[in-house]
Amino acid sequence: MTKNMGSVDRIVRIVVALILLALILTGTVTGVLAVIFGILAAVFVVTSVVSFCPLYLPFKLSTRK
């Protein structure tokens, strides 16, 4: 698994994940949408930690320098 995410990409994903979690925890988003946001936030955190996004592979993208 080759790393394909740069620092800025990772930071943006973490920030978006935190925003999604804040929306869930404050009760702004509930129900099915909250579950979807939670899963999306988890995926963003995991991909940021491992510096690898599987969706970049088919398009041969890399935000890493």
Which pLDDT value is given to residue 49? 96
Mean pLDDT by 10 residues, the chain (65 residues): 93 98 97 98 97 94 91
Which pLDDT value is given to residue 1? 82
- Taking each helix axis from N to C terminus, what angle separates 31-50 and 7-25, rounded to the nearest 10 degrees? 150
Distance of CA 64 to the CA centre of its chain: 16
The full DSSP string for 7-64 is HHHHHHHHHHHHHHHHHHHTTSS-HHHHHHHHHHHHHHHHHHHHT--GGGTTTT----
| Maximum separation of any 2 CA atoms in the chain, in Å | 40
Domains of the chain by residue range? 7-56
Q: pTM for the full model?
A: 0.89
Which pLDDT value is given to residue 61? 93
Given a contact cutoff of 8 angstroms between Cβ atoms, the answer to whether 56 and 1 are in contact is no
